[in-house]
Amino acid sequence: MLPVFTIELKGKTVVITGASQGIGEAIAEIFAESGAEVVLLARNESKLKKNVNKFLEKGLKAKYFVLDVAKPTEVEKVFKEIGHVEILVNNAGIHLNETIADTDINKWKELLEINLNGALYCSKAVIKQMIKNKYGRVINISSICGKTGYEFCGAYNASKFALIGLTQTLAQEVARDKITVNAICPGWIETPMAEEVFHDEKYAKYHQIPVEELKTTSLEAVPIGRYIHPKEVAYLALYLASDYASAITGQAINICGGLCMH
């Protein structure tokens, strides 16, 4: 029988971007329940406030800052106000359903600014401090779309492939400073973003599937036959943030029910 172990992050400050809903909200909750002081960042203040109040009512440590991670000067300002950070989770992201031929260039640039450059800006805001302290964890939420190109979401694919490249490079640069940098690659997660995709008539038309069948058809392609819950992603992030995972760095770990196996 395997020994039981628990993960405690008391005394650690954890910053999670895109923490107003979905995966980011779940990660913030699990990390707070593990004793960390969580700092939630996102653009939607009402959702941030609701989440933080929910955590505070449970006796957990949490606060929030409204932030658009695509604006480097705002990122620098907010992180200076936060202060010491041991763990950073770059989760903020948006989706764009378009063929490459029809992709709006301004929307492409906006997506890359949030999904890729936002992770760069936030990482730069904490990494020198982590190097100085000889400790840190950076966890980037990529996607299985960063492992395999999928039709009708080229901008999203490009950003998630690049995020894995950023993860691997930074991991090598800071490995000797006892800092780990890893990516998590989710598949179909039960989030508002996934629901938007499943109700996208253009996406359904492109794949020649009735929009009301998109969700069922997509989930049937998952070997385990279901959505992955955001908390399942959160527990993986918690493990990567812990000392148990101190030898894991530069990895892009799938959590997709078998949909992607490389």
Q: Is 156 a catalytic residue?
A: yes
- 3-state SS, 18-56, equals CCCCHHHHHHHHHHHHCCCEEEEEECCHHHHHHHHHHHH
| Token pair of 134 as six digits | 């000889």
Task: Find the helix packing angle between 118-133 and 72-82, rounded to 10°.
Answer: 30
Q: State the DSSP string of 53-98.
A: HHHHHTT-EEEEEE--TT-HHHHHHHHHHH---SEEEE-------B
Distance CA 124, CA 23 (A): 22
234, 30 Cβ separation under 8 angstroms: yes
Which among 121, 135, 150, 156 is annotated as catalytic?
156
- Catalytic residue ranges: 156
